[in-house]
Structure formats: structure tokens, C-alpha cells
Amino acid sequence: KATVTKEWVVVDATDQVLGRFGAKVSKLLRGKYKPNFTPHVDCGDNVIIINADKVKMTGNKWNDRVYLSYTGYPGGQKAITPARLQAKPDGDERLLKKVVKGMLPKNKLGAKLLGNMYVYAGNEHKHAAQTPKSIDINLLK
């Protein structure tokens, strides 16, 4: 933990395909692009995503894809499409969080890594004090 160097990075989601973008962001959060990657340590970067409202999906997935959740009660299965989720308040942020959360480990470390992601629908973010560096997500593999 003492050898981990966490950076702040800004990623622009304009015209990015949602699933591929989420996969690259999850790799940034885990630190898989770093040579000192360790699976059980939080060695990833803090990621700021801007323009989350301009993300796109290929095909007709805005209406065909369905996200399921269960309330715990009989008959409590809820289904929502990405288009309906995006139309809700803070829907752009919630959609990206849902996508990236599914690509992170399902344990305490995954929950902590998700806390290192900050999503904003517009072009502005409130993390200027951390002096984040802007990176092009398309250059990552």
C-alpha cells in the first residue's frame, strides 16, 4: 500500500460506446495498466468522467437492453431500459455507474474501487484542486 501511487485522471465520454468505455474505465480503476498491478490492492487511479450524457450505444440497445433488479419481495423484480434510466434525474451518472460496477470485482475491494469514480453529465467537474490530467481513453488497450 505504501508503494501505490494513485493519480487523478479525467476521461471524456463524448461519442464513446458505453460497454467498451466502461471496460477501459474499470481497468483504470483497478490499475491493470500499471506495471505494479496487484489484484488484492487498490492500486488504480481516481477517474473523473465528464460528458456522461453524450455516451452512445450501438444498434437499438437503448430500448432493447434490460437491466433487472430485485427488491427482495415476491413479485418485486424491476426492469428498466437504458433510455428510461437516462431520462431519470442523474440518470446519465447512474447508467455509467451501473455499467462499470458490473465490470469490477464483486467484493469489498470492488465497492471501494467504485468510490474512486466520479461521473458528471456536463463538461465541468469539481476536482480542479486535485490537478487531474486528461487522457484519451482510445489510446488504451
- Spans of all domains in the chain: 8-57+102-139
Asked whether 10 and 133 are in contact (CB, 8 A), the reply is yes
Q: What is the pLDDT of residue 1?
A: 64
pTM for the full model? Answer: 0.91
Q: What is the pLDDT of residue 8?
A: 96
CB neighbour list of residue 48: distance below 8 Å, 6 or more residues apart? 8, 9, 10, 11, 118, 120, 125, 127, 132
Q: What is the pLDDT of residue 86?
A: 93
Residue with cell 461519442: 15
Asked whether 86 and 80 are in contact (CB, 8 A), the reply is no
Mean pLDDT by 10 residues, the chain (141 residues): 86 95 96 92 94 95 96 97 94 95 96 96 92 92 82
Strand pairing of 77-80 and 67-70?
antiparallel
CATH match of 8-57+102-139 with 3.40.50.720: no
